[in-house]
Every structure is written in structure tokens, then in C-alpha cells.
Structure 1
Amino acid sequence: MRVLGISGMHSSVNFKKRVLPGLDDRHYRVVQGLDSAAALVDAGGVVAAAAEERFTGEKATGAFPLQALRYCLERGGIDLSEVDRVAYGFDYRRSELDDLSEYTRRRFDEVYSAEATRSQLHAHWPGIDWAERFVAVPHHHAHAASAYHLSGFDSALVLVADGMGERESMTVFRGENGTLTPLRRVPALHSLGTLYGAVTLYLGFEFAMDEYKVMGLAPYGDRARYRDRLDALARLGDDGTYTVPLLGENRGWLENETHAGAVRALTGLFGPPREPGAPLEQRHMDVAAAVQSVLERTLLHVLRHFAAETGLRRLCTAGGVALNCTANGLVARSGLVEKIFVQPAAGDDGSALGAALYARSLETEQPVVRMGMPYWGPEFDAEAVAKTVENEPGCTARRASGDEVVRETARNLAEGRVVAWFQGAMEFGPRALGHRSILADPRGPHMRDHLNSVVKQREDFRPFAPVVRREDVHRYFEVVEGAEDMYAHMLFVVRVKPEHRDLLPAVTHVDGTARVQTVAREDNPRLWELIGAFGELTGVPVLLNTSFNLRGQPIVRDPGTALATYLRSELDHLVLGDFLVVRDEA
């Protein structure tokens, strides 16, 4: 059975701009349906998956994933007529909430309804009976399936937390024998994801885009400073759930569209909000620390209750909150569960994959398998790379053997150069996992500042991740024994061992932690060999790994974008498959 999954709401942002002109630009991201993507699954597993942003260049776009769909069909070697189902990762049904105003009525019809998405499919593939093939999947079921069906855990507690699904913001499931059973739901009015997003707005960042900046800023803050005000953000209940009083400060549907009431309440608690681009004060760092503390405290409360109630000792998580790597690391260290699987595309791009997996599970019995690396995106052969680099003005490209690529790159890295690394099939999800990466020496005391200010052109408080061979991870990092594969997707913050923090300054955050990625030889042989070669030269088999993109740009997809990005950047070297590329001297 072949199932295509899709996510995103094509007109979500444009509808809001058209109907509510004059809002702050940041408020147009307070919408459902960003991060559109497509995925193809069959009886053998995941065939292809990619986010639409990688094709259009518009970061986090919610546009109908036409190019991602076409890619998935091409990789599967099929036409859309050969697909049994197209599964969509939302299942909105009209309710009284949609009749609150003319705006919300129109929004349901033009954005939220299944018909709005079916009309996009019909416009591009008019000859297909979509009434038969289209399946709307409840959003949290899609997220849950994306994690559970790829976890390898036959039975597990499954936690989905995000801004909101259709009407809920957290759902706890029991996953057993391939079936997902909801145990408890928390309504959207009490959303941890939206709370974190409202604080993101308050701190002058982009809603549904920059929450990871708040996570990175939090370790600079004092968690104790606002401890007496945390109950105003979230209150814990006796049944393993919670409430978020702050979001009740939004008065009416219009304030829900801007979170003006929530920001007003935050102003009363913590002082005036930070304007975008304004200097960061210690107060802002302390607010970031406070909301991170609330998120962690609340997640532990939920897991403590439901782990005890169900007796389940394995956990799967998805939804945007599952991308909070600091909270994931705390849960891993808590001892509440033995193993955790976080779906690497845990945001709404991953709901496309989950919708496909869920729809497949309804019609065919499938074993729960452990996924490997999410290298499900476009791949380019040597001929395509050669055409990209031949006669390109401004650079020189030389084809090398695999061993030479590894040795030459290791030497450049050991000598302090920054290398863009483009290999194999593109990763699915927000993390560069060794195929679309920028690599550097983690030992350089000034490397982090250089990458932030000159190469990536981003805020100086942002940390970078280390990548290490799986067999070496315990040497440098405090990870859970026996669960080394848990860290393959760069989704857990762990402690750097104290004796190595001065050795790894470029990847050790201010609080002595790092968002580590482990690499197994069978998952990525060339990266594994490169780390080893760098270790032979330096005595430290660890590299700095960050995504291959510049400020405001999605991670690069193809050789042409990779080369163009390199040539307009301050990157020292580019490796495109087997081609070593260097910028010509001016």
C-alpha cells in the first residue's frame, strides 16, 4: 500500500494578511499550518520525505507542498494515480468556535477545512477522484504516529505537545501492538507550545520560528529570579494535566490572533517587552530561563503521572515542544522512562509523515520498526554535481577519491578552516545530520563567535552542536548508558564532562551542556571516517556541526544552491560529494 502524506495550510498566512491588514509582521506567523511537507510511505517503510521550504527558499512556508509532492513521487518512481491514499495531517470539523466572527467563519472555509486542501490537489491533479483517496488525519494522531511507528517500541507512552492541533495542545497516548489509544487531552487554551511562543514574541523574536532562540538564551538567565511568578504561567493539576492562566488573558478572537493579552500580562509580570533587534538585557535572559523552567516542570509532571498510571517505561514524543532539546535532555536524565524516541522532524513538517503512517496503519497491519537516519530527501549523483561546478566563475573544483576527500577535509578542519559539507540525500527535519552541514574545529576558543557573527550572521548567544562517533560519546559527554542511539538525531542536550569543557569551547554552552549528535559507522560512513581522521590529527574525535544555510535561508537542498551559498559566504571550503571546491583568489 502506498500513502502520500502532506502538511501545511496553503493560504493561512496570506488569508490573515488579506483579512487583517495592518498587524505587526510578526503577528502574521500566529497561524496554523506552517512547515508544509510531503512524505511517501509504502509497505516497506518510508520512501521519501521533504519540506517544501527546501524547494521554494521560503523558510517555514505553509504553502501547498507541490514541489515536495512531486519529489516524493519521483523518488518512488510512481504517478499520483498509483497512490492508494493521500493523508492530510489535520482534520478540522466546523464547530461553534468557528462561528465567533466573520473572520473565523471565513478562515474555516478558506484555510482550515479539508475541502481547502482537496481543492489544491484537484487544481494540480484534476483527473483523480479525491473523495475516494483523500484522508484527513487528526493532527495529534499524525504527530503520534510519526514517532510511535518509527520508534521500534511495541508498547510505549506517546506524548504529543505543540501549539495546538484542531482543539487540543497536548495529547497523551498509549501505543501498543501498532495501535494508538488517547489517554488524556489538554485543550488549546492551555497550550505549553503557545505559552512558549507568547514569551518568544515578548522577547522580540518571531512566533513559531524563534522558540529555539529562547531555549538557547535561557541558560544565561537566573531561574530563581522569577520563581514566585511561575504559577501565573502554568499551574499543575492533580490528574497529570495543567492549566496555562496566561493565555486566558487574550480577550476575544482578535487578541488570540496576536496574543496581545498574553504579552500584556507578561509585561505586568516582567516589565516592558523587548523590541525586535534591541539589546538583550539580563532581565530578558531571566524571563527565558523562567519559561524554560515552567516547560520542564510541566512536562515532568505529565510524564511522572502517566508513566506511573500506565507502567510504561518507554516514551515517544513529537509536536513542536519535542524540539526543545533541553527539556528532552532533562527527561532522559530524570529516570522516569528507560528509553526515549523523539521523531527528528517533530514539528509540523513531520505531521505529513505521521499522517501517511497513520493512514497506512488503519488499512494494513505493519510492524513498529526503528528508523535509522532520516536521509529521505533529494540526492544528486556525481554527474549532477560536475555540471554544477564546471566552468563556475569564482571557484575551482577538483574531483578526488573518497579517502582523499576525508583526509583533505580533516586537514582543513584541523587547521581552523570552516567547511561546508554536502553529501548524499538531504535530511528530513530541522537538523543537519551530516549531509547538509557546516563543519568546524570545536577546540577553537573563538570559533563559535566567528561562526555566529561572520558565517551564519546570527545572535552571539546561540550554541553549536558537537558530532561524535557513537563509540566515543561517553569519553566526552554524559549520556544515558545503553541508549547511545537515542542521540543520533541531535535532539537531546547533555552535559559535557567537566574535564573536557575547556577542550571543546566552541560546542560547550554557557551552562556546560551540548546538543550532541552521535554517528554510527553504518549510518554515515564518510562522516564517521572524517571524525576519525580529524581525531587522528588532533587527538579529539569531535567536530562542530551546524546546518548548511545562512541567516533567513532554509538548509540547502541541491548542489546549485550549495555552491551559490558558499560563494556569497565567508565559508573557507566546500565539499560537494567527491568534489573539493575552493574560492578563487580575488
Structure 2
Amino acid sequence: MAKLEKDIYILGINESHTATAALLKNGSIICCASEERFTRKKGQWGYPKFAVHYCLQEANITIDAISAVYFGFKNPVTYVPGEKNQPNPYGGIIQAVSPHIKRILLFLVGLSPVFFTLYSFLLKTLYPAIAVATFERSYRKYITRTIGLPLTKIKRMDHHLAHAMSAYYANPAAHKLKNKPVLVITNDGYGDDVCSRIYTVKNNSWIEIASTPNHHSIGLLYQYVTEYLGMKPNEHEYKVMGLAPYASSESATEVKKLFRKLFWVDGLSVKSAIPTLGYYSFLEKNLSKVRFDAIAGGIQACTEELLVELVRNSIERTNIHSIVLGGGVFMNVKANKVINELPGVDSVFVMPSCGDESTAIGAAYYGYKKYCEGHRLKFELKPLSHLYLGPAFDDTSIKKSIVSYVRNKPMSFYKMKYPAKEVAQLLSKGHVVARLAGRMEFGARALGNRSILANPSNPSVIRTINKQIKIRDFWMPFAPVILKKLVNDYLIFPRQNGESPFMMFAFNTTNRAQKDMPAAIHPFDDTARPQILSRQQNPDYYDIVAEFERITGIGALLNTSFNLHGEPIVLSPLDALQTFHKSGLQYLQLGQYIVMKNKSYEK
């Protein structure tokens, strides 16, 4: 094997929903951010030009230093709506006419399965030959012009392999599993003609053993249910999951039985009685007089059962007991909980923020693997020990932003001498504190650096936070951050040495947790979606929680994302100040500074 003689940079890109860029250097992801944080447009699609610029700036390199750019889709056409200044006429047309096409297709498919067969044939023949090929030519030209790299350095990969590689190689326990076989299972709405793939991996050798076509997608059914319940599809599925426990077991079971007639597991694949185009009509026909909570409970129970069967069958087929999961369906922490509790499962790792944003990381990993193979280099990757991969701001720039913003506003600020102690004191007195400090987290879940923090022992703080900023649906729980040393005091693990640093699992809670942090657990079923925090991961954040424990005896805080309802999580001090100003929040930590609203302040 040749030795590494220069730094190797690989840029991974997701251009679908929550467009994201990730930069890998010599096997390590050194920065990653989603475009929505820069544009302030939630779920931003398209080429993430601002995120790419950030990655280059963070690494202090020019585009010429990039060895290759990999995109996490082979076929991006239907995933990239026509954004301003981006040459995607097909995406724009699809976005404009898709509701009309959808109604026509649903009508035709309902008349006869022949129409679905014809649709599938056209999708696999004329569509790639005309739309995909034409779009790809214009898009590649746009990318080369925007990035400034030759076409030879711009490549695409299979979408589900990007999901799979992001999960497998990001796993902090990967070094322990290197010489052992691992099951990698992906599941999402759809991507590159499938909604699920199953791989076995050992010593970096990947073998695909099964896949499920996208016309049998449990992820899309969940998405359609979200829309049917009046919520925003591809965004509010977590609300359906949060609503599910409120359904009576009887009503949820009846709806689940209905969905199970529609879906079943056949070996290592999922099958459905009708194609995805018919799902919404199925809901309208069968659920028009069913309670909303029963529908949520039924789809959640169905999803859990199908995923458990898929995992159990995969274990039985391969005799592999270490599981890695990726793809947007596994954002469902309740389903992950059930999988984690399965007998015969030795370990489970779920890729953090495993929607399409994570494929940027998977694409970077894949690109580095291909580069090493092509240059006879030893292929080694460093897993993700944390997700603090976004921009940071020093005290000088923070102070400058504060001074400029608070001028002529009823606000004041000061520099803290002991930030952890002072913030913990505020929290212990019942105040809610927004926090921006250090590098921004990658992904959908705030992990302390762009968070709103509160005392979890008082249930009334839920109403306070919702009134001040979050405006969450009444059934939605908040989540805790818990000191790692106290996890067994608060959480019930299915096996020893439980880990959950990225909020990807739900757990049953102990009596002490229900006493100490009722505001940060699900009010109906007493489960929690925790961030389990060690000091190594984030010392400043850890010190706040530890100081709060010293004052109150509670080793946990309520932690929710720092954003206005419907907006992306804040990125910069200016974002934080504007959000703070528009909200009812009274305290904001910006690095070493505290910003306060004066008593005379009226929103």
C-alpha cells in the first residue's frame, strides 16, 4: 500500500430535502452543515452552495484542493425542485404540476392495475432516457460552473448505499466491529428506485443481500398518513409518532390490522398489496370515520412490527447480531426502541439525523473509499464521536453582533465570569435560557450548542416554552439531556452500557426520572428521547448540566432546539438575537455573554 503524501479532501453532497454538504479530510468528517441554516428556509432543497462555501472556509482550502465530489443520488431529478438560479426545469415543472399529475395517476391506478404497469414501464424506460439524461447534462454543467471543478471529479452514487455507508462508518463502535460481520439496514420513503436495502459488511467488504422497491414503501405510507392527518408530510412525521401513545390499544390495533392487510414482510423485503400511488386513496376510503389518535397509533404499531420482522428475519438469515440502521424511517425513535429491545440483538447503532441530510456524509465516506482503492492507499475512517461540525463564532464577533443588535432595544448584556455556574443558576431558579455556543450541531436534533434549556422538574415549564417560542402541539413531549454517569438512575436499558449521544432512541424511564424530569419525558407513556452527555463530547455544555445537578440534585435538563416554530435552528449570533427578539424568551447565552430583556420589554 502507498503512503498518504498529501491531504485528501472529499466533498459529499445531498441535494434533496435538507440539502447538505460534508467535507472529509484524510478519513475524518471535519465539517458538515445543511443549507437551510444559511438560507433560513426550512428543508431547503437543491445544490447547497452556502454549505459548500462554509466547508471550504472551515478547512481553509480552495476548491482546487478537493479530490472528488460525490452526490448521494444516482437520479436526482424528482428530488430537486426548481430553486432560484438552479437549472432544473424538470424539478420546477414536477413541483408545479405534480398535484395534478398525482390526481390523474391516482384515478387511473384506481381503475386498473394495468395503468400502474404502464406507469412503471415509462418510469424505467422513457423517463431515464429523456428527463434524467437531459437534466443531468444541464445540472452537471451548472455544478462544474458553480464549484469550479472538472466533470471528471464530480460523481454520483446509489442513494441507499450512501445511507448505509453513513451509518456504518459513522458508528463510534466501528473499531470494535471492524473484523466482525455487521448487518446494515436502510429504510426511507424512496431513493434510486428502492425504499430499503440490506447489506452485510465485514472488513470493508459490502454485500447487498436484499432490497425493497419504492412502490412498497412503509416510509411513504407514514408520510401519506401525516398528510392525511393535516400535518406537513416529510417533516411532521415525528408529531404522528408523538401522538400515537394517546390512542387506546383497541383502536390502534384495529387500524394496525387494516394496515397489515396492506403491508407484509416477505423474507428480507417488504410487500404491499397496492403501489404507493394508491396509498392516499386507501386512507380516504378506509379511515374517514376513524379517530386521529387511532390512526397515529395504528401506523406507528404497523411500522414497528414491519421493521422488527425485517430485522429479525435478517438476523435469522445471516446469524449476524450487530445492527446498523440508516435512512429517514429510522428517525422514528419509538421504532428504534423496539428494535433495540429485541432478543438476539447484541448492539444497535442508528445514524444520527438519518434523513437525506446524512447521505452527504455517506457520499464523502464512499468517495474516500473509492479514492483509496484507486490510489492503492490504506482505507481507514474515523467515526463520528460528536456532531459539532458547523460554524463557530468567537467572543469578539459575538460581542460585535450583540452591541449592534441591542442598540435602542430594551435589552442589556454582560460578559459572564463563570458561564456554567451563572447559566445553571438561572435554570435552577426556573428561568428558560436559549444557548448559542461553540460549533453548530449537524442534523435535526439540537445537542446543546443551539438549544433552549430549562429545569425539567417543573411540568409548567412546557407551557412557558410553548408560549414563549415553540408553539408545539399539545401532545408533543420535550426531551432531556442526561449526564452519562446518571443514565442508569434515569433510564431503563435493554442491555448494559447503554449509549444515546445523538437522541436516536427512546427509552423507558425510572421512577426517579419521572420525579426529576417530568417536563422532559412523554406525558402519556413515560418514555424519553435523551441525549446522554459525557464531558469529552462537549465540556462547556456538560459543565452547565453538572453545575445544575450540584445546585438541584437533578442531573438532567430539558433540551429543545433553538428556533421559532417552522424555522430552521439558528446558526449565527444574529440569527439567535433575532429569534430571541421575536420570541418571549428572557435570557440568551451567546458564548461568554448573557443577553437579557429588560422588565419594561414587551414583545
Q: TM-score of the superposition, structure 2-length normalised?
A: 0.85
| Partner residue in 2 for 1:241 | 269
Tell me the C-alpha RMSD between the 2 structures.
2.4
- Seen in structure 2, the aligned counterparts of structure 1 residues 226 and 438 have a Cα distance that, compared at 3 Å, is closer
Q: Mapping of 1:57-456 within 5 angstroms?
A: 57-92=40-75, 100=122, 105=127, 109=131, 113-125=135-147, 127-130=148-151, 132-151=152-171, 152=174, 153-154=177-178, 155-234=181-260, 235-245=263-273, 247-248=275-276, 250=277, 261-271=278-288, 283-364=291-372, 365-391=378-404, 392-393=406-407, 394=409, 395-401=411-417, 404-456=418-470
Instruction: Output one character per residue of 1:366-410: Cα deviation in whole Å (capped at 9) or x when no partner.
Output: 235432111111111111111111242222221123xx2111111
Amino acid at match of 1:100: L
2:572 to 540, 549, 558: 558
Answer yes or no: is the 8 Å Cα contact 1:92–1:112 preserved in 2: no
Of the structure 1 ranges 379-388 and 498-507, higher mean CA displacement relative to structure 2 is found in 498-507
Partner secondary structure for residue 564 of structure 2: coil
Instruction: Output one character per residue of 1:531-562: Cα deviation in whole Å (capped at 9) or x when no partner.
Output: 11111111111100000101011000011101
Instruction: Output one character per residue of 1:485-538: Cα deviation in whole Å (capped at 9) or x when no partner.
Output: x30001111011134314322012111101011000111111111111111111
Shift of 1:109: 2.8
Shift of 1:468: 0.7
Following the alignment from structure 2 to structure 1, what is the Cα–Cα distance between the partners of residues 593 and 467?
Answer: 28
Instruction: Output one character per residue of 1:212-254: Cα deviation in whole Å (capped at 9) or x when no partner.
Output: 1111111111243253453542433341322133545x3xxxx
| Partner residue in 1 for 2:11 | 4
Partner secondary structure for residue 353 of structure 2: coil
Q: Mapping of 1:557-576 within 5 angstroms?
A: 557-576=571-590
Answer yes or no: is the 8 Å Cα contact 2:168–2:184 preserved in 1: yes
Answer yes or no: is the 8 Å Cα contact 2:38–2:571 preserved in 1: yes
Following the alignment from structure 2 to structure 1, what is the Cα–Cα distance between the partners of residues 126 and 296?
Answer: 32
- Seen in structure 2, the aligned counterparts of structure 1 residues 137 and 382 have a Cα distance that, compared at 3 Å, is same
Shift of 1:43: 1.3
Q: Unaligned stretches of 5+ in structure 1?
A: 9-32, 251-260, 273-281
Aligned sequence identity (%): 31
Following the alignment from structure 1 to structure 2, what is the Cα–Cα distance between the partners of residues 111 and 162?
Answer: 25
Partner secondary structure for residue 184 of structure 1: strand
Amino acid at match of 1:377: G
Answer yes or no: is the 8 Å Cα contact 1:426–1:436 preserved in 2: yes
Answer yes or no: is the 8 Å Cα contact 1:236–1:301 preserved in 2: no
Shift of 1:480: 4.0
- Seen in structure 2, the aligned counterparts of structure 1 residues 176 and 368 have a Cα distance that, compared at 3 Å, is farther
Following the alignment from structure 2 to structure 1, what is the Cα–Cα distance between the partners of residues 20 and 129?
Answer: 21
- Seen in structure 2, the aligned counterparts of structure 1 residues 374 and 104 have a Cα distance that, compared at 3 Å, is farther
Answer yes or no: is the 8 Å Cα contact 1:139–1:165 preserved in 2: yes
Shift of 1:177: 1.0
Answer yes or no: is the 8 Å Cα contact 1:145–1:354 preserved in 2: yes
Shift of 1:114: 3.8
Answer yes or no: is the 8 Å Cα contact 2:27–2:368 preserved in 1: no
Shift of 1:453: 3.7
Partner secondary structure for residue 233 of structure 1: helix
Shift of 1:113: 4.9
Partner secondary structure for residue 170 of structure 2: coil
Answer yes or no: is the 8 Å Cα contact 1:193–1:321 preserved in 2: yes
Shift of 1:263: 2.2
| Partner residue in 2 for 1:539 | 553
Of the structure 1 ranges 216-225 and 457-466, higher mean CA displacement relative to structure 2 is found in 216-225
Partner secondary structure for residue 163 of structure 1: strand
Shift of 1:172: 0.6
Of the structure 1 ranges 96-105 and 43-52, higher mean CA displacement relative to structure 2 is found in 96-105
Instruction: Output one character per residue of 1:243-286: Cα deviation in whole Å (capped at 9) or x when no partner.
Output: 133545x3xxxxxxxxxx422211222215xxxxxxxxx81011
- Seen in structure 2, the aligned counterparts of structure 1 residues 291 and 390 have a Cα distance that, compared at 3 Å, is same
Q: TM-score of the superposition, structure 1-length normalised?
A: 0.87
- Seen in structure 2, the aligned counterparts of structure 1 residues 241 and 224 have a Cα distance that, compared at 3 Å, is farther
1:530 to 535, 539, 544: 544
Answer yes or no: is the 8 Å Cα contact 1:487–1:517 preserved in 2: yes
Answer yes or no: is the 8 Å Cα contact 1:91–1:114 preserved in 2: no
- Seen in structure 2, the aligned counterparts of structure 1 residues 201 and 104 have a Cα distance that, compared at 3 Å, is farther
Following the alignment from structure 1 to structure 2, what is the Cα–Cα distance between the partners of residues 89 and 466?
Answer: 32
Answer yes or no: is the 8 Å Cα contact 2:448–2:559 preserved in 1: yes
| Partner residue in 1 for 2:598 | 584
Answer yes or no: is the 8 Å Cα contact 1:490–1:516 preserved in 2: yes
Following the alignment from structure 1 to structure 2, what is the Cα–Cα distance between the partners of residues 93 and 350?
Answer: 16
Shift of 1:342: 1.3
Instruction: Output one character per residue of 1:115-162: Cα deviation in whole Å (capped at 9) or x when no partner.
Output: 35423312324x5321x1011010001011101112113231111100
Following the alignment from structure 2 to structure 1, what is the Cα–Cα distance between the partners of residues 352 and 388?
Answer: 11
Instruction: Output one character per residue of 1:436-481: Cα deviation in whole Å (capped at 9) or x when no partner.
Output: 0000011112112222243211211111101011111111111244
Instruction: Output one character per residue of 1:47-90: Cα deviation in whole Å (capped at 9) or x when no partner.
Output: 11000000000001112100000001111111112111100000
- Seen in structure 2, the aligned counterparts of structure 1 residues 324 and 310 have a Cα distance that, compared at 3 Å, is same
Answer yes or no: is the 8 Å Cα contact 2:456–2:518 preserved in 1: yes
- Seen in structure 2, the aligned counterparts of structure 1 residues 397 and 298 have a Cα distance that, compared at 3 Å, is same
Of the structure 1 ranges 39-48 and 453-462, higher mean CA displacement relative to structure 2 is found in 453-462
Following the alignment from structure 1 to structure 2, what is the Cα–Cα distance between the partners of residues 524 and 104?
Answer: 52
